Amino acid sequence: MKTHTICLALLYLVSGPLAGAEPPKLLATTPALWAIGVDPSMKTLSLKFDQPLRPGFWDWFGRDVLSPHSTGHTTIDAERTTCTVDVTLQPGKTYICGLNEKGIPGVGFQNDKGASLAPTYLVFQTAGTAAPQDAPPRVKAVTPPNGATGIDPSRVKAIVIAFDQPMGVKKHGLHLFENNKPVDISKIPASYSTDGTTFTLPYNFRPATQYRLELNNNSDIGFSRATRVPLWPAQVSFTTL
């Protein structure tokens, strides 16, 4: 019995506690995340992961919003770290691959222990002239402005972002960091202007604090046009008095 226990303990130490419990992470994608000018003749998308994947499980397109035309035919290499899917692209288009978009454990890309890739958006734009409805939105202005110092928290009480196009008003993609620590703003009621071009998040800034705003990132594309073409990620930093 002792021998058995020792053996199991050794195995545990050698193999590492709960080996495989860490979910897989993306090392690289083709095209790259948020790439522009992607060759529309590209026939496949590929993902390279940091660890072997469980064969037979994938989720390329999530909720199927602006996903590229594809049969869904997926292949995986012998090392089980690189997945590829066939696609047919058009020029001037923005595509979204909502990798594991729903975030359901055990669904989509996952490792042998069933730990899934965190929801990730592979967004890219193909080369070519985009039709007006396919053009990504841009940020026109942010308040407080990027790089500002000495923002008076007693006077500035909101984050305001102006876009060049009407946005989908049901979501946003803002992430706020105070002194590099994330702030949960999910409970704060945000709003868009009637025309959908201005986003406002009321917020009580703390004095003498460094703030950073992330507008969309690899796992959140809440800032999107009504056509669902997302804002390319942007960051804004400022400091309060």
Partner 1 sequence: MTHPRPNSKNESGVALALTLILMALIVIVVIAYLSNTRIDRATSVTYSARLRAQTIAESGLAAAIHLLRDNTRYGNYVTAMPPTSVANRYTELYRPHDPADTAHGVMVNDFLTLSNASGEFLISRASPTPAAPPIPQVDPRPTPEVVTTPTTAIALTPLGLTAADSYDFNQIFRMGTSATGRLVNPDGLPAYGQWIRVRNNSGELIGRYAFFIEDESMKVNVNSSGNNLALPSPTASPNLRVNDAAPVPATTPATQIQEIDPTAVLLAANRRAANTSLVALGNPNARLSTKLTMALLSNWTSIENYAHLLTVFSKDDNTTAKGWQRLDLNKIVADAEAIGTNAAKVTAATRIADWIRDAWTGPTVLSTLQYSQLFNDSRLRLQIAANIVDYIDQDNVPTDMGDVVPDGYTNTAPVIGIEKIPYLVAVEVIYQASNSTCPSPPVPGTYSATLKMKLQFRFLNLFDSALDPLDSIGKIEVKGVPVVTKNGPLTPPFDFEAETFTVTLADLKPVTGTGSCSTAGACIVPAGIDGTSDSGAKTVQTDWLKTQSATFTVSTSDQNPKFQAGQLTVKVFGKTGERLDETSIALNGNSTGYTGPNSTKDFLTDATPTNGSLQIASINLVYGTSFETGDPRFRGPLVNERWRNINRTDASLPLTTNRISLYIDKAELNPRASGMDWYDESGDRPLAYIRNGAMLNIGELGHISSAEYPWRTLYLQHPERPANTSQTGPKDDVPLRRSQSQDYVLVDLFRAGGTVSRSGALNINTQQQFLQPSATTATLPLHSLLLGIPVGATAPTILTQAAPAAAASPADRVSTGVNLLVTSTTIAQNSGTGTTPQNYRIASVSNKRNPLAGEATTPDNNPNRPFFQVGDLAPTLSRLISASEASDTSASSSRSKVVYSALRTNPQSTTTNQNYRKDFQVEQLFREVSNSITTRGNVFRVLYVGQTIKDIPGPGPTPNGQVDSQREIISEYLGEALIERQAVFAPEATNPDGIKTSDSVYKILANRVITE
**Least distance from partner 1 to the Cβ atom of residue 100, Å:** 8
By beta-carbon proximity to partner 1, the closer residue of 34 and 57 is 57
**Least distance from partner 1 to the Cβ atom of residue 64, Å:** 4
**Least distance from partner 1 to the Cβ atom of residue 195, Å:** 23
Which residue from 65, 61, 53, 175 is spatially nearest to 117, judged by alpha carbons?
53
> Do the strands 148-151 and 191-192 form a parallel or antiparallel pair, or are they unpaired?
unpaired
**Least distance from partner 1 to the Cβ atom of residue 14, Å:** 10
* Residues forming the site for partner 1 (CB under 8 A): 1, 3-4, 7-8, 11, 15, 18-21, 55-67, 69-72, 74, 88, 90, 93, 100-102, 104-108, 113-115, 228
By beta-carbon proximity to partner 1, the closer residue of 12 and 179 is 12
By beta-carbon proximity to partner 1, the closer residue of 66 and 122 is 66
Burial class, 200, CB count within 10 angstroms (exposed 0-12 / middle 13-18 / buried 19+) = middle
By beta-carbon proximity to partner 1, the closer residue of 73 and 206 is 73
By beta-carbon proximity to partner 1, the closer residue of 80 and 212 is 80
Burial class, 197, CB count within 10 angstroms (exposed 0-12 / middle 13-18 / buried 19+) = middle
**Least distance from partner 1 to the Cβ atom of residue 11, Å:** 6
